[in-house]
A and B are shown apart, each in its own frame.
Chain A
Amino acid sequence: MGKRQQDKVTGFGAALFGIAMIFLIIPNWVVTSDALNLTSPDTFPKFASWMLVILGAALLLKTYIEEHSDKKNAKTAQESNLASGSKPPKEAFNLQKALKSEGFCVIATFLVIALFGLLLEPLGYLLSSMLCCTLLLIAYQCRKWYYYATVILFTLALHYIFGTLLHVRIP
């Protein structure tokens, strides 16, 4: 994603989120009471939400102005791109390649972390962490046995430190 596109998404998202906060979330999820103090519990959230709307709009405006002033340069660049040749051919889907892609690793990592959070209660810390760490290593296609051994030993060591030495109640 280019810088301009990032700014547009951020500006639009912030403004939209601010509006949703002001008109939907704050009226429904902030219980106001003027009994004890002069400023209401919704003052601060409303201030932050209005600021989000203003800042989002400012970011969109800034991006628009920058885009407008760079229009000529962009046009020239586009022309030179067109002149430089044809589009690169689209590659066919390759499962092996996809499994080794950066995107797959990020998604797999997040999914395993989310699974960890979900399994922590029903399976407990030891089982869920061993399972999830092993899943991560499998997702990264690690073949070295000592990686698996290290992860399991680390999990056991943490369990001992937190549970036995520090008396933290571990699920």
Chain B
Amino acid sequence: MELLFSVLAQLFTFKTFIAINAGLFVGIIIGALPGLSATMGVALLMPLTFGMDTITAIVLLLGVYCGGIYGGSITAILIKTPGTAASAATTLDGYPLAQQGKAGVALDIALKASVFGGVVSALVLLLVAEKISSFALSFAAPEYFSLALFGLTIISSVSGKNQIKGLISGMLGLLVSCVGMDPINGTNRFIFGITDLLSGIGVISAMVGLFAITEILSKAKSVVRPPDKMIEFSNKGIENKQFFKMWPNLLRSSLIGTFIGAVPGTGAATASFLAYNEAKRSSKEKERFGHGSYEGVAAAESANNGVTGATLIPLLTLGIPGDTVTAILLGAFMMKGITPGPGLIGSQPEIVYTIMFSMIAINLFMMLQGKVFVRVFANVTKIPTALLIPLLVTLCVIGSYACNNSIFDVKLAILFGLIGYLMNKLDIPLTPMVIAIVLGSLAESNLRRGIAMASGSYAIFFTRPISLFFIVASIFSLLYPTVCQLINYYKARKAA
């Protein structure tokens, strides 16, 4: 009890509140700008924290982190340009909603779902951090491979009616993910003498090209064409009652995000795609997914923000940073004299619990700030297309450049834009390609590591329980739609 009061006293200070809100504000803006990620935001603000006390510094950086993950959804919904890779799944339903004049609803769902995911994740961090971290640590190459394989099965569910075209798009994505230095041997693949390709094709460049530039080219048509019908614009949000009707989906997606976040080296993009797929599979309105489903936006956003608290689990309990953001945070902790690891809770419980409680506070403040941002940003949909296109082009170019400070990345984004436009013309879905680009290298490197671990045997993937579970889940995920179709077909035949 004494500890709780001490933690709350540290948290409820004017300085901490200012730090949380400043961090969130910067984080949301950075997340909303294509090419700038939460990682970059945390790295940029870290030097500012040198003179601050420990708690103020940590909550500021955590605010940037949470705000950055949420901020990516704003541009994903409004202009089909995910600010971060984590928001790519939000684009699938968020943008169609914006096109239907429901930008306000989509942004509001994204905000509330992000807060929900963030709070669930923070509670898990607070209550069962140690147990989860030891489970997550049992992940080795076979588990990572089977998890990535499970993620890749989403391709089947996002391909719509034309499964073959979806798979073709996925295979093209896998080939794109192979470009660059081989993750195991370090030999070159498909670099065509271009040294810039050695580090592979950046996910942000590919996404800016496939989503944003493709959309710009499609939008260019409407500059000369009057809209089919005037879309009634509304920046009204979603009612709480309607939002909380989705609680099973929100809870499931948040827990998926939390689980993925606790596993080092996976990331929010994987979590949001997995949650999206699960939401679609269990939804009663599957046909609405991809055309503006509230559940789709809620699943993607609660999952990617569910990752935020969970990434701190291995960091605080074991001293292992799960991704680049937590690696930077580890540096910040150490700079402030905190050494994360198994002994931290015992030696500095006040600090650990303040960080855990601050995650809840950060998410609640995000709700307040997000409301303001939603009202301001929702007006983007009112901008005339002829003006919007030049603004988007500038944003895309600087966004793809800022990721690696590379003009080559800008050229790649433009190339992907052209490829995306041609794929659209041929009615080939783009999302499977993006999923394969995100998960391809994770799947390949861990498949090969797993085989090497087992001295050439594939049995390792089937003898380890977690790996086997995900492989069975992948098979189920792939066969489920076909089995359902067959059952419906036979039912209809029987009825006839």
Name A's B-contacting residues (CB within 8 A).
Answer: 1, 3, 6-7, 9-10, 13-14, 21, 25, 29-33, 35-39, 41-45, 47-49, 51-52, 55-56, 58-59, 62, 100-102, 104-106, 108-110, 112-114, 116-117, 120-121, 125, 129, 132-133, 136-137, 140, 142, 147, 150-151, 154-155, 158, 161-162, 166-171
The secondary structure that dominates the B interface is helix
Question: What are 21 pairs between A and B in contact, CB < 8 Å?
Answer: A10-B427, A36-B184, A37-B185, A37-B448, A38-B451, A39-B448, A41-B184, A51-B167, A52-B168, A55-B164, A100-B224, A113-B216, A113-B414, A116-B410, A125-B401, A140-B224, A147-B386, A154-B391, A158-B398, A162-B33, A166-B44
Please, which residues of chain A bring their CB within 8 A of the CB of B225? 102
The answer to whether B220 and A106 have CB atoms under 8 Å apart is: yes
The residue on B at minimum CB distance from A53 is: B171
The answer to whether B36 and A166 have CB atoms under 8 Å apart is: yes
Minimum C-beta distance from A39 to chain B (A): 5
The answer to whether B389 and A109 have CB atoms under 8 Å apart is: yes
Using a Cβ cutoff of 8 Å, how many contacts connect chains A and B?
196
Contact bitstring B204-238, A, C-beta under 8 A = 1, else 0 = 00000000010011101101110000000000000
The answer to whether A117 and B30 have CB atoms under 8 Å apart is: no
Minimum C-beta distance from B227 to chain A (A): 13
Known: A10-B168, A41-B187. 11 other contacts (CB 8 A): A7-B165, A38-B456, A39-B447, A48-B171, A52-B168, A55-B168, A109-B393, A113-B393, A120-B397, A155-B394, A170-B398
| Segment at the interface with A among B189-197, B277-285, B295-303, B312-320 | B189-197
> Any chain A CB within 8 A of the CB of B387?
yes
Bound: A29/B36 CA distance, A: 32
Please, which residues of chain B bring their CB within 8 A of the CB of A62? 164
The answer, among A29, A41, A52, for a CB contact under 8 Å with B172, is: A52
Bound: A59/B394 CA distance, A: 38
A36-B185, A106-B220, A121-B407 as given contacts; A171 in contact with B401, CB under 8 Å: yes
The secondary structure that dominates the A interface is helix
> Within B142-197, which residues are at the interface with A (CB < 8 Å)?
162, 164-165, 167-168, 171-172, 174-175, 178, 182, 184-185, 187-192
Please, which residues of chain B bring their CB within 8 A of the CB of A162? 33, 398, 402
The answer, among B390, B405, B426, for a CB contact under 8 Å with A151, is: B390
> Any chain A CB within 8 A of the CB of B395?
yes
Bound: A170/B391 CA distance, A: 17
A37-B184, A45-B178, A48-B175 as given contacts; A105 in contact with B223, CB under 8 Å: yes
The answer to whether B407 and A117 have CB atoms under 8 Å apart is: yes
Bound: A100/B184 CA distance, A: 53
The residue on A at minimum CB distance from B400 is: A117
Instruction: Indicate the member of B174, B188, B425 with the most A CB atoms within 10 Å.
Output: B174
Please, which residues of chain A bring their CB within 8 A of the CB of B427? 3, 6, 10
Minimum C-beta distance from B59 to chain A (A): 21
Name B's A-contacting residues (CB within 8 A).
Answer: 30, 33, 36, 40, 44, 162, 164-165, 167-168, 171-172, 174-175, 178, 182, 184-185, 187-192, 213, 216-218, 220-221, 223-225, 386-387, 389-391, 393-395, 397-398, 401-402, 405, 407, 410-411, 414, 417-418, 421, 425-428, 440, 444, 447-448, 451-452, 455-456
Minimum C-beta distance from B206 to chain A (A): 15
Please, which residues of chain A bring their CB within 8 A of the CB of B387? 137, 142, 147, 150-151
The answer to whether B411 and A117 have CB atoms under 8 Å apart is: yes
Please, which residues of chain A bring their CB within 8 A of the CB of B216? 109, 113
The answer to whether A31 and B174 have CB atoms under 8 Å apart is: no
The residue on A at minimum CB distance from B44 is: A166
The residue on B at minimum CB distance from A128 is: B397
Bound: A170/B189 CA distance, A: 30
The answer to whether A14 and B168 have CB atoms under 8 Å apart is: yes
The answer to whether B394 and A39 have CB atoms under 8 Å apart is: no
